[in-house]
Amino acid sequence: MLVVSTMTATGGSVYLDGDIENSGTSDTTNSVVFSHNTTVTSKLTMTLESSTGNIQSQGSLTLAAGTGIFIHDNFDAGGTFPLVINADYEVQGDGAITVSAGKTLKTYNGELLMTAFDLDLQWYWDGPVLHAAGINSGSASIVVHGAALDQSIGLGGTAQDMHVSDEELLRIASTSDVTFTRFGGGAIVVQSVSRKYSTKANSIVFGDPFGDVVTSKYKVAALPQVLLKAYATTADFVSESKGQPRLEAIAAVALGADIVVKWHPDIYSHRLSHKADWIGLYKKGACTSEDTTQLHLLHKCYIAWAYLPEGLEHGETKFTWKQYKTTGEYEARYFYGDSTDGQGLRCVTLGDTAETYTQCVLSARQISNTITVGDTGTAASMTNVPGLLEKFCDGSKTVCE
């Protein structure tokens, strides 16, 4: 049995074999055993092997290699201690975590954190028997980080810098969650994966019961299906913040009068107006339908617009006759300034392709009732009509004073 408490190889590789100390024996205890709170570092590759035993850790363990880590036998990380494996700590893009076919990397409810440029769970068929590598963390989380800045990650059918096939994903087991997180701005492309998933900041998550779950390879009732999607922008990973404003406007306005729009930032919370919240005035129905408007032009045909004062629970915004100019049907639209990309914008990657074509789209949080501007209106709306003077007639004079 080879017991390891600490080891650093700054100029080469690390090869740990539990059979070396008892070479020529058949002792089944010829294992590689890491003591509690151990760190092993290799400048180049790290290989863990014990052909007549296994690989064990007795507590928290960190393994770091510059050009890859190879696990050739069953690895049992004992207790609920964390296991950290970094196969590319120099961030060169040449370090993979490889688990040999038929072997399992297992923690007993201890969190598993892996950083690599690629993840390779090997497999082969021996007649009708499949010998496949697997990873199991019990009830603890598994987190896989990309190693190189802006490297891409492919989950399922699309190969990227890191490629984890659907079959490999099914062999990464946790009753908690399994998370793939990008490093920098690289895309995570998901195609035809069997497991349901959701997103959070810069990550794809399998097994999060509180996320906005979607399906991919298989359709499930009441869940959206996303067969192929490249997640590349901040907005791709983060759901838009909740909230629904309220807009109120007088339905009939005389030509020349101000269009007054009363607003509330959110009817479901105490959200105050953001410094970049704004309201736009539009011809009714103009550039609002995805069926008839190109996405990058949605809500951009405003006639006039105005920022809202910051920090208010309600207020009103006025649009003057000089801004709208003609009779017709109008509407106001409310945009949240604290959207993912600011001022109502969400910059998202186009769907149904592994390419990262990005498009920035305006999203209106609320649209007002129809505002009809005509030659007549309510008495209140007539007070600001240019040239309208108040006259008093008592019948005693030919011309009213």
CA distances from 285 to 302, 363, 372 (A): 11, 14, 13
The residue whose two tokens read 């009779």 is 327
Rounded to whole angstroms, how far apart are CA atoms 100 and 108? 20
What does the pLDDT read at residue 292? 85
- In degrees, rounded to 5, the angle at the alpha carbon of residue 167 between the alpha carbons of residues 200 and 238 is 10
What does the pLDDT read at residue 16? 79
Rounded to whole angstroms, how far apart are CA atoms 321 and 102? 76
What does the pLDDT read at residue 75? 96
What does the pLDDT read at residue 11? 63
Rounded to whole angstroms, how far apart are CA atoms 98 and 95? 9
What does the pLDDT read at residue 19? 58
Type of residue at 399: V
- In degrees, rounded to 5, the angle at the alpha carbon of residue 296 between the alpha carbons of residues 292 and 299 is 70
Rounded to whole angstroms, how far apart are CA atoms 152 and 160? 6
What does the pLDDT read at residue 13? 81
Domains and CATH numbers, the chain: 2-237 (no CATH), 246-384 (2.60.40.2840)
Rounded to whole angstroms, how far apart are CA atoms 67 and 89? 8
The residue whose two tokens read 């390779």 is 120
Rounded to whole angstroms, how far apart are CA atoms 325 and 309? 25
**pLDDT (tens place) for every residue of the chain, 401 residues total:** 677 766 666 667 888 776 544 433 334 467 889 999 999 999 999 999 987 789 999 999 999 999 999 999 999 998 899 999 999 998 789 999 999 999 999 999 999 999 999 999 999 999 999 999 999 999 999 999 999 999 999 999 999 999 999 999 999 999 999 999 999 999 999 999 999 999 999 999 999 988 899 999 999 999 999 999 999 999 999 988 789 999 999 999 999 999 999 999 999 999 999 999 999 999 999 999 888 888 889 999 999 999 999 999 999 999 999 999 999 999 999 999 999 999 999 999 988 888 889 989 999 999 999 999 997 545 444 455 454 444 444 555 444 44
